[in-house]
Every structure is written in structure tokens, then in C-alpha cells.
Chain A
């Protein structure tokens, strides 16, 4: 839409801004969600005392109690399916251990849920779109700029309907759930999180002394063939990582692996609290009740393996978000473990016999909640890990959920940046789901004049614009231009140089605000919410049940579409022609109109192909019900996918909207038809290998050209691929990739196990917070310029990106380059402006600001490096290069990048002299592991199918940071022993390293990466366990297509709790697959064991050795 171009590119065009969805602005009241023990929480949390008791406290009470007035309206109703009688009410509640208290509430231990809780948890799941009711309670709170109360509803992901056979358990909203868990960090820990300058933390620093762990005798390791590779073997006593000696090497407080500031000591992972499950092994385990969150000093146990050595080495330091930069106490971190290994080990290396695989860095799950203030003392704070749980207090910088940078200090010069080798990019997720306790995003209405903007660069007023001359002028923090303050915006300055009203005007004190857009920002009235469903009814789709699944999913999802007369829907089906349906007719029966010309498509009707949902819901439902039988005997196996989406587009062209396509086979006829290139590639294998990556490029430009046209008319395409064979995702994914949509991939589609996911994916797609006809631009301070945007969008002019639709999950990567220098103590500002239309037809401009200090010190860059963000950046870059370069090249590039970064650190920052040590910057200590995982990921493996790889690449391009990490480095837990674990509801604490060493034949394991969920069953599993979980008594009796049912026993219930928790966390239903040892599926499972040595890849230890060797080579 032309409308958009808010951003003035050269000439002072009016730059509209983007607005936010009212709904998306989640205004959660600041109710104290008890995230930490009362002591540390500044909020009035009544329950400080009650903590321990609460491990799952809320459940029953909530249910049993009448809801507080206005709150929780619909808790129990949540699921949209029938409830299963067997479920008791309590179970429907999320397991949040914490019960938020209403602000006023006294501290009785049982408290009515706070409004937010109610909204999010109970009702949450389903209520999102239309149901303001749950939010109603919120509205009562005095919130200044609160948008529509409905806002809260967002959060819910589609999980609700779970697999556990039908009964819709109401699940806790994602967001909520996550936080809920182990809310109260063990009382033992000092929780520093909040606020306080970390000084208090110092304790942690201390611990470094506890390095011992490494030294631990490796004996504990089960003899694994690969770990003790020959190289090591040679050394009689290779030193395990960082033995004491290393520590000395690294400057001051080197916590070996345990970086103090970072939350996760590598050790943690292995010892993760979850291990509590294995009682025997752990000496140190904390009392289960304490959610082991970081406070727990102990990280002992390895699951199942006792590692004697783990000295409590690490006190997992609480995260120090608050820590001001440059704190004295904070040395550049961490350094790490050197691995001595024979080859490298210089003479001086104290050698130890081997590297203990248990001691090498791994992510330490952390489930405790921290509070993150975005700025403090007029300085930006370093945000917590994107994968951790935190609550944001917006003090001028935006929430890191919305936008975060790979570097938390900006290099003053481009040279400094290139020296560091680190990527420099912003990840922008403009509509990201907030934590329920996050500061809400205020909506600011400037009336007819619209928001104040810099008259030169058109950036929006923000907290960092400096008012001078008694407030009569202000200096733009982005371009430096001095603007005159509009008369009605004048205000005197206080003694501190700030405007006296700075604290009242939210745009002057908050990092993120939404401005109400004026007419100037619209070229037409904001568009209605229009959804057009396009369903494949070709022979294959019908026979595999994909059509029926799609129809059923759509039918059920209608309830989740935004309410109101402005919501429109349309339906078409296609095989070798396109079938429209006139849904508004005198008789109830729809009329099928076939467009047979698939080389030159059109819509058969002027109106009535897209109809208001409220008027035609019944006929839409009837139609959906009858489609599978209408085409029951369809013998057409061809698919005119390209023509169908073109036709759907034409139907949406007048309004724009979302086109949701259900496709089952390779598009074989009509516009944009494709050939089975994969097979052709295989037959020409000899030539094929070198050119293999070409199969990851679109076959031709047809679809791209179409997609650009779609984007121009604000049509977003999402494609649900329910295929059994190659469908050329490389070509198809161009369409969603250009229109702000996404690809969902169900391969091979199973009518038994996939409909649940299909439905949930669709439901979440439709109901998640989102906006339409959006335009986005990122501006930055002079000295930098935007180099490139990457993600799912269409770019027609260099400065802006067009997003026919944008939702809470879509993330856009923005890379920068220097075109000038910064002064040492200056700040570099970034401003993202998103002009969009909410699902309710409001036009908003969401403005997201981030101002970061500049530094000329390389050490600062490393110290404040953001691993997760950098990794997401590397991941996306890898995804975008696999169609262009051969896989081996891409793998090499990634490995080299890792090596270069570590080398830069080693060379310029580490003081260690020993060349025999591999030194890792604390902030990036997991970089090698992630790099290795990435190299072995589906997208970069040689053995993957082309479609899998293409899907992976397209998925990654708009993936958020918090999902990027698990995608590559999945989470694995054991489930045969769930009941044995502490009943603290924490699943994240029990992660098992991704190594086959940790897989036992008598165990059942669950591995999930945010997309797929594999359940691995060993061949010696206790039949009783099998019976409890799957209802079968032998491994052989397990079905290949798994549908988890909930059985009436603790273990099964626990598993479903776990599943639900994961789903909420990932905002994804997860595709369930059963893997059996000795079966191809078992091999598939094992391919996720990225720490293992594989035919084409190094083991983790070997990889570290490799990296180390390369660095040494470079050093030499």
C-alpha cells in the first residue's frame, strides 16, 4: 500500500508512523507477579512468606474459589472443546506456583487471582481475540494510556487443544506459565535480581574459586569412545578444562565456565536442577521445593552420573542485569577453560588426562524470573538472556523482547567492530508477546497534529531527544538536528535539564510507545480483518485426510477470529482448477464457482466470495463440513497452487488480508507450476552435488513476482503444507517470505497425529496478536546506517519494509554498518517505527527506542555481547546463505566466524599467556556449542531432504531469538521418571545434554526444539511405564503415529503437564513423533544428539579442540 510510506525517505515526506494494535499492547497491570521472594521484589508481594508452600499452589484454590469480582471470568471454560469430565477443575489450571496478588490484597496465603493472572491463565487461552471480558478487570486499574482492555488477551498461543485427546484443558497462557514456574527462587538464594546494583552479588564473584569442578576426575565418565579421543589420550593428564591453573591464568576472577555474570554456568546444564530426579546421585541437590533457580549454589549432579568433582563451583550467579556497565567488579569475564589437549597443549599446559565432557560449557536452564530495568542511572542495562524469564521495566529503553542488539555497547568505529568479528545487528520483534508483568506499552494520542517528529529525519519524539533553550527547541538524538518545539508541546525544563513533564509524558520516558495514527498516515480507511482460506482438494489431499483436517481446523478456528462486523472470511478449494464459493445466497446452499483457466485467473464474482463472518458463519461452517465429501471421489491429482493463490489474492485485492493456503502436493499445473526438481537432481547426481544448493533457490521468478504484487495490495500468505512428497518449498516459501507470512510444514502428513497440530497452528496464527498493512523502518544515529533488513517482508524502497501482516512472532533482523565514528561516551540510538492496522481497524504507530553507549574498548564489546542475539543473527545468515553456497562452505563460514570471534577475544582481551588454553569470553562461552549445533542442524546437514532444508531456512528467517536457540540446540528431558522428580513443575531444570551417553535403554526421553517433539523409547523400558504413558505394554506395541492420550495416572498427567508447559513456552503445539530404539525413527532421534561424533561431524569435545587449534594457528 502506498499508504504506508510513512518514512520520509529523502524529502520531508510526511512520515506517518506506525501504530500499534491496541490489543497487542498488552497492558498488564503491574501487579506483582511474584517473581521472586518478597524480599527482593520491590512490588508488594504479599506472599513472600508463603513461598515454599506454593509449589503448585494456585491450582486448587483458584478453581474452588469464586473469582474475584470481575476477574477471571472464564477460567474453566477455556478450552473450546468439550471438557472431559474426568478432569477436575483444578487440573485445568496452570501450574503456576505463584499466585499474583491483587494489589490491594492482603497477604493471606490464598488469594484471588489477580486480574492479569486470570486473563492470562485461565481464560487466556482462548479468549484472545475477542474477549475483552477477561481483561475487564484490568481496566479498572488506573492505567493511563491503557488501550482497550482486551489487550491482554493476546498472549495465548494455541496450545489449548491438545493432544491429550480432546479435552481442552485450559492451559496457562504461555507467557504466564513460563513465569510461573519456580517463581520463587529458593529462599536461599539471594535474589538480587531486582534492582539492586549487583554489588550485592559479589558473592558470586567469589565463587570462582570453586573451579574445581573440572579437575574432577574424569573417571566418572562412562567410557565413551569418542570423548577420550586419541589426542587426549596421549596426554597422561590432560587438564580438564581449566583446572586450577587456568584460573590463575585468566585474570582475576575467572570463573571458569562459570561466568559470574552470565546466568549460566555451563556446569549448570548437566547438573541442572532437574536432576533432582535422580536422587541418589546428588549430594548437593537442593531441596526440591526450592526451585533451584540460580540461587542455588549447587550444581552438582549430573544426571545419572555422579560427578564427584563438581565442586559447587558455581554459584550460579544471579543474573546481574542491573549491573551498571563497567562495574569494577566485573572483569571481563570469563574465560575459559582451557582445554589442554595434547596436540595443542604447550609444554606449559598443565595437562590433565582428559577433558571432562561434563564440564564443558552447556546452556544452563534457568527458570527463575528476574526483573530487568532497561536503563538505570541514565545508562542502558545489559538485558538478560532472551531465553530466560524476565520482567521488563521500561525506563527509557525498549523491552529487549521488542528489540535487542547483538552488542550492548556500540563500537565507536567500524574497525573496532571488524576486529571483534562479531555480528552487529538488531533483532526487532515489534509485536512480541510481553510478559504479563511487563510494563504495558502506552498508547499516546497527539490528536490531529500527530506525534511530534524531527523535521529533518522524521524520527519520532522519544526519551532521548534533548530539549534545550528552555524547552523551545529539541535536538534529535538520531540526526542531531535542532528542531523547534511545537507550541502546544512546549514545557519548561527542570533543574536537571529535563522537561518538567518528562515523567508524565510517556513518550518522553518510555522506550516503547504507540502513537495513534492520524489521517496523514493512511491512504485509505484502515482495512478490515479479512481471512481467505484456500484448501487443496486434489486426489492426494483428499486421500491423506489433509483436506478434512484443514476444513475441521478452519471450522474450529472461526471462533478465534476477531469479533465484529469487520471480520470477513472467504473459502476456495482447488485442484487443477479453482473453486470459489458464493456464501451469501438466498438459499442456504452455497454455490460453487469454478475458475478453470489456471493460466489467467480471475475471481468469478464481484462480491460474496468474501463475506462478513457474523452474517455468514453458518453457511461457512456448513461448507467446511461438506467440502471433504464434495470431493470425496475427486480423481484430479494435479494442483494449481500458483493459480489458486493468485485467485485468492484477487479476491482479497480490494481490501488486503490474510490468505491461508492448505497445500498437499507439488504445484503441477497452471501459473507458477513446478517440477519435481528434487528427483531430477537425484538422477543427475554427479552434476547435482555441486549444484545442490540451487535446489534451495526458487525455481523461477514467477512466484516472487506474484508475491510482490500481493504485498503491494496488503495480502499476506501463510501456507500449511501437508505433504507426503517433495513440494518444492524453496519455491513456494518465497510467497509467504515476501508477504509477511510463514510456512507450516507437516511431513509426512498423518491424518492421525497431525490434525491437532494443524488446528493449533492455524488457531494461533489467527488469534495471536497481529497487525495488517504495516510499514516498518529502523533509524539509527548518525555514524551508522542500516545495511540490510532480513526476515519475512517485501521491500520496495530501500529504507522501508512492507509487511502485509506482522504478528507477535515475526522477527526482523536489521544489520548496520558504520559510516562515521562515535565519541567514546556518547550514545547510539536506534528507533524502530512500525505503522500498522490492528485487527480491530485502528491505525497505530509503534515506536521502539533503544539507546546504547558507545565504546572504543574491545573488552567492553565482548563483555556485553549478547550471545543469543548473535547466535540468532548467525543462524539467519546461515539460512540465507544455504541457497547460495554449498553446504560445506556455509559450515566452514560459520565455524570460521566462531573461531574468528574467539580468536579476537584471545588475542586482544584475554590476558592469559598460556597458549595451551582455550579461552572463551564469558558472554560467548556457548558460542562453540551453538556453532557446532548449527553445523549439525537440519538446514546444514548433508543428509537432509531439500524440502526440510528449505523449510528450515524459511522458518529461520523470521524466527525470534528465544526460539532460535532451541531450534538448533533442542531441549531434552527424561520422562520415564517424571513422577520421581520433584513436584515443582519445573521442566526446564531437568535438561539432559544432547549426547547419546545420556540416553539409557530403560528410559523414555522427550526432545523438543520448538517445532517437533520427539519421544524416544528405549528398548528396555519398564512395561509398567509404557502402560502408564502410552497404554501399551511393550515397545513393539507402540504405534508409529503417536497421539498422546492422557491416562489416569500420575506419570501420564505429569507428561501432559510437561507437554502443555512446553507448548505454551514455545507458542507451538509441537509435532509429536515417536522414536524407538533400533528403528529408523530411533536413528532420527539420535541425529539430534549434536554432542556426539557423527559420520560427518565432530563431537563437542573434538570441536572445541578444533577451534582451539585453529585459534592457536592464527595466534602463531
Chain B
């Protein structure tokens, strides 16, 4: 297993099969598809950034890489994908075995190219805040303070805009010096980009071009008119803060039996159009802060009448959620628009009830946006996550924008699609498999937003047919892959990351062992989880559609390790008897003198056994003679902090005691090997679960029986 992790460290890639089944037939019988989990921007130590443009194959456009065969004498390289022979250009003339360019170093299978300063300007990143005002006073206060903190952390050169919404959508003109000023749009009415162009007076006093698409400064908008709404953070911090400070709740009265009139979809659509007008094709994110369900506009998810409950999975299943399909359709269109413009939608949904994440999922996911779901804007999950986005520390997200991801691979491998935060660019080619999974039927994908941890799941298909002739055709049994990621780095520079991989294929029953050796169980679990969640939209329980959507979105962007944590939380035991050790995720792990640390990805639980809790409550840890106890108490907390620091969204930290109410966060994850009706009593200090669920053991038995039959 560790070799897979090593491979991942080098290239950010994990594959279900590291040795490929050689033919289509064999691949099918493997059940687990050939797939790769790729983290395009995974920080890889010592990866060089080359300040020049890559060399490309004349035929297949793949990029020169360590797997290319180079004829140093003839100054020719052979493309490993199409076997085309390419001459080196003039400036590579000094190449020799001793004098290799970095991209040919065997250890640099992953390498980056940066456009030189004169080829592309640095683009400021754009943050457009879209803020819900249909909140209770308390929530508004929380949100304001979180936002004003975030504003302080904004990179100086980034551009900032503000939209607030409730019954109406207000686009704040931050560049108007005299007084706070905003454009107010009706929440119930959709407005097109063209109308926006008209109504926001972008052409005031100047004739409007008659033809052509109007967008951005290059296409006819004056920088001044754009600067009304998007200002450098350094210039508008004061205005922004003063607007936020006086930001009132949505002033329209809400009858007691109704929900607030909240036009989330209209606000997002206006935000998208505004960015589309002002900064098309340049990195920008809409950061939406939503505190309740949308009740107005095309994306509304529920009527205003409080007597109507918000849709559940059951409603969706029965087709009883009338608004759902309409909303999804609306957001699909919005996602197309944003993808086209290269902009991201981030969603911060903080409410006790659902806000419509399920409907919004399509936009967030296709644009590679961030999603955070919390109970309140005052909750640390939200506050800390927001801070993390802007804070520049070792753990910063490394937000990048406006990416394009392309795949190149050897002839007998085809791509079925990608499951993950991206959108197809519909670039069809011979590489496209007929079977489509996720975003497929293309070899290029848009990743409007991506960060260090964004992970794509590529599903491949082995196209090679059975037959001896095909085996003998090539002596080489190598497959090659090349992943190209163009993106706007958080510093504004455009970059291209190239990862080139090679994997061996085997064929025939003799090589089953080889296949098995190359099987990455964790990667397979992560891939299967994505596949399953893609296919299984209905059979869900215990969650609201919003929660389901949230968990899946996170799952779909996380790397293998974190996906595995989501699937199978880790449980670590701390006790006086041993150093911290992983224990079975089982109810039997509970003991009175243990501290358990559960990491279930979305929450981190520190669970004190009954005795530990007692001791702690008595304050032993403060007594010098019980220093070890103090240490014992501290160790799991430190571990928890470490987890939290690195994870995004920041998980919920639950510190609880055995038999306490919060203990449920742990209990719910444990294998019910001991329940209220099992025969074997728990060990002293242990616990039992009150559930009728079957234990893992029973389940496995059942599974075995099925497998054998």
C-alpha cells in the first residue's frame, strides 16, 4: 500500500489498478474499473516551474516528457503516445545526455510551466460576495463579522464586489464615493446579461457598440464602468466595511405563517452576469452566503407558506417536489454560464434547515466551487472555513482559477469521463470511450475553481481487444498517460502542470498476481464511492437532500485518503496502557479509561471514557503529580487540531464524555457489535448501542454467502 502512497506523493495520482488488465474483456471481469484519482495541484516538493513554453508533439499535441525517447544526435524526440518523431527546436540544440532540460529528468514526471511575464498579464483574482439578508439579527451579526474578517484577509490586489439579497437583489456600487449606492433588482424576475448591461448603465453617455459580444474591458466596457462594482480590495475596504456594518435585514415584512422572501437564484444569476460582463475569462469567484431556503425566483425550492415543508428525499423520489426540477434546470443553465465564463460559485450554507444545496450542487460542482454547510454563521465550521480560504498559511487552500484539464493517453486506453468538480468542454476525440461516466465524451474539462486538494476521478476503459496479434504488435507493454492542467495560479500567473505517467499492462490468467499486486484498495474504495454516489441518487436515508448533496460534493473533490476517512472513520485510542493506537471502529473500543479520537471527516470527536471524564472533572490534570494525565488529555486534542488545520471545510469538533449527550457523534459511527439485545455483555466500562442495525460481522457473513452462491 505504501508504494501507492509514494506514487501519489510524486505525481498526485492513485489508480485502482496499477497494473492494467490487458484487454477489454479482462478489464470487465475485474469489476473495479481502471480509474485514476488525480490531484492536479497537489503540492509536490521540488517540482520545478519552468519559465518557458513546453514542447509539443506535432501530431497529438502531447508534451515532451521523461518517457519520450530522445535521439540526442539527431535532436529528435519520439512521442510516447503517437510515436511521432519530433525535431527539437533551435533553442534545444544544446541538448545532450548530460545536458537535459528539466522536463526530461526522469524524476520530473510532474512539472510546471509558467507563462513568462511578457506573454500574459497577471490577473487579479475576483471575489464577489453574495450575501443573504433574510436572517435574524443574530445571524446577520455573525455573518457581518465573519465577512469583515475575511475582507481584511483579502489579497490586496484582488478585486471585490458585493451583492446582497432578500426580497430584492442589491448590487452595491462600491466605487461610488459620495454615499452608499446600490442597484436594486426584483427578486422574482430573471434578468439576462443583456438586460443587466442596459440597466446598470454600462454605456452611459457613450454609444453602445452595435455588434459583437460585449464583455469585459477588451470588448467595449470601459474600465471605469467596471470599477464601479469591482474594486481592488485595498481601495474599497472602508466602503465595504461601512456597507456591511449598516447592512440591514431584509426590510420587507414577513407574515408569521410565511418564510422570508429570499431570491437566492436571482442573486446568483445577477452575480454571474455581472462577472460575465466585467471579467469574463478571468479568475473570479462568487461567494454566496445563504441562510435559508430560496422562496422566490426560478431557483426557489419551497413556497413561502410555512405549512409546506421543504422537500425530502422521499419527495424527490416520488416526484412530489414540484420546484426541484425547475430549480435544478435553472442552476444547470447557470452552471453552463459560469463554466463558459470561467467563474466559480462557492456556497456557504448556514441554516438549521435546508437551503437548497441539493439544487445548487450542480453549479458548485461543475464550477469547482467550495461548499460549506453549517448550522449557523456563528458556527466555527463556517467561520474557520471562511478564514481558511483567505488566510495564507501552510495550510492555505491554494485557490486557483479558471483551469482547463486535458488528458492524453496511449492508444488502447480510452476515457469514459471524470467524476469530480469539473465540467466537460466537449472536446471530442478518439480517446473518448463510448460509455460515458460523469463528465464524459470529451478529453478536456473546465475547472473554474480548483485548489491544492481538488481531486478528479478519471474512469478509463481498456479498449484493446483480445487477440495474440495485438499482443505481439508492440513489444512494449506500457501505457502512458499525460495530464495537462492549465490554471490561473493564486498569484495571478497562468501556469500549466504536466503529469506524465506510465503503467504496465498484463494479460492472461498467468498474470493475475501481477494484477492483484497493482490493486490499490483505498483508491478503489474512493473511486467506487464516487461511482456509487453518481449512480445512486435515491436510496438515501437519514439525511436531507441538502446534506446528501453536501457530503457527495465533498466526497467528489477529496483525495483518496480523505475519501477513505469519510467511508471508514478512523478511531484512535489514547490510554495509560499504550501509546496512541488505532482501534476497531467498534463499540467495544469504548472503555472508561480511554480517550477515543474519532475522525469521520466532517466531524472530529474526542471522547472521554467515564473515568477519564471523572478525573478530568476533578481537576487531576492540574496537579503536578498527575502530569501524565494532563498529557493524556492533551494528546488527542492536539491530534484533533492537526486534523482540523489541514482539512477543508473545517470539521466540527466535538469534545464529549461517555454517556454524555454529545457522545452520539461517536456512537453513531461504531460497529454495533454489542447492542441492547446481544448476548455478550460489554466489558466493564464499555458501552452498548441501542440499535437494531446488524453488526459488521453479520453483514460480512451475509456478503460471503452471497459471493459464494
Contacts and interface: CB of A to CB of B under 8 A. Distances in A.
B45 interface: no
Contact of B204 (A590, A591, A630, A636): A636
Interface in A715-750: none
Given A587-B246, A606-B251, A592 B181 contact: yes
A593 interface: yes
B206 interface: yes
Give the dominant DSSP class at B's interface. Answer: loop
A608 interface: yes
A606 B199 contact: no
B519 interface: no
Contacts of A607: 251
A824 interface: no
Contacts of A591: 179-182, 246
Nearest to A669: B198
A635 B183 contact: no
Interface in B193-246: 195, 199-201, 204-206, 242, 246
B241 to A, nearest CB: 12
Contact of B199 (A592, A597, A634): A597
B201 A597 contact: no
B134 to A, nearest CB: 13
A577 B251 contact: no
A595 interface: yes
Contact of A596 (B200, B246, B253): B200
Interface string B152-192: 00000000000000001010010010111111111001010
Contacts of A219: none
A1084 interface: no
B252 interface: yes
A615 interface: no
Contacts of B204: 576, 634-636
B191 A605 contact: no
Contacts of B182: 591-594
Given A576-B201, A596-B183, A600-B186, A585 B251 contact: no
Contacts of A594: 173, 181-184
The prevalent SS among residues of A at the interface is loop
Interface in B250-268: 251-253
A604 interface: yes
Given A606-B252, A607-B251, A593 B184 contact: yes
A637 interface: yes
B180 A589 contact: yes
Interface string B665-693: 00000000000000000000000000000
B178 A586 contact: no
Contacts of A635: 204-206
B186 A585 contact: no
Interface residues of B, number: 27
Contacts of B181: 591-594
Interface in A629-662: 629-630, 634-637
Interface string A315-349: 00000000000000000000000000000000000
A596 B185 contact: yes
Contacts of A585: 246
Contact of A636 (B178, B179, B205, B246): B205
B186 A597 contact: yes
Contacts, number: 76
B115 to A, nearest CB: 38
Contacts of B200: 596
Q: Of residues A604, A606, A626, which shows the largest number of chain B Cβ atoms within 10 Å of its Cβ?
A: A604
A626 B186 CA distance: 27
Contacts of A626: 178-179
A1103 interface: no
B183 A630 contact: no
A595 B184 contact: yes
A587 B186 CA distance: 26
A598 B184 CA distance: 12
Nearest to A581: B179
A816 interface: no
Interface in A524-577: 539, 576-577
A587 B168 CA distance: 22
Contact of A597 (B173, B180, B185, B251): B185
A1047 interface: no
Max chain B Cβ within 10 angstroms of own Cβ: one of A586, A592, A598, A637: A592
A637 B205 contact: yes
A164 interface: no
Nearest to B183: A594
Interface in A610-636: 626, 629-630, 634-636
A602 B181 CA distance: 17
Nearest to A609: B251
Given A577-B201, A597-B185, A592 B180 contact: yes
Nearest to B253: A606
B178 A602 contact: no
Contacts of B186: 597, 600, 602
Contacts of A592: 176, 179-182
Given A592-B180, A597-B199, A629-B178, A608 B251 contact: yes
Contact of B178 (A539, A604, A630, A637): A630
B387 to A, nearest CB: 27
B162 to A, nearest CB: 13
B206 A604 contact: no
A580 B206 CA distance: 24
A604 B184 contact: yes
A590 B205 contact: no
A585 B179 CA distance: 12
Contacts of B180: 589, 591-592
B111 to A, nearest CB: 49
A595 B171 CA distance: 11
Nearest to A637: B205
B497 to A, nearest CB: 43
A608 B246 CA distance: 14
A440 to B, nearest CB: 45
B296 to A, nearest CB: 13
A589 B191 contact: no
Contacts of A586: 246
Contact of A605 (B179, B199, B251): B251
Contacts of A629: 178
Contacts of A634: 204-205
Nearest to A539: B205
Interface string B247-288: 000011100000000000000000000000000000000000
Nearest to B187: A602
A539 B182 CA distance: 20
A597 B195 CA distance: 9
B637 to A, nearest CB: 42
A592 B173 CA distance: 10
A626 B180 CA distance: 13
Given A600-B186, A600-B189, A604-B184, A636 B201 contact: yes
Nearest to B177: A630
B173 to A, nearest CB: 8
Contacts of B178: 626, 629-630
Contact of A593 (B170, B206, B253): B170
B239 to A, nearest CB: 11
B246 A604 contact: no
Interface of B: 168, 170, 173, 176, 178-186, 189, 191, 195, 199-201, 204-206, 242, 246, 251-253
Which 7 A-B pairs give the minimum distances between C-beta atoms?
A635-B205, A596-B199, A604-B184, A592-B181, A594-B183, A636-B204, A635-B204
17 contacts: A587-B242, A590-B179, A591-B179, A592-B176, A593-B181, A593-B182, A594-B183, A594-B184, A595-B183, A598-B199, A600-B186, A602-B184, A602-B186, A605-B251, A607-B251, A608-B251, A635-B206
Given A585-B246, A607-B251, 7 more contacts: A577-B183, A577-B199, A580-B184, A592-B180, A596-B185, A600-B186, A604-B184
Interface of A: 539, 576-577, 580, 585-587, 589-598, 600, 602, 604-608, 626, 629-630, 634-637
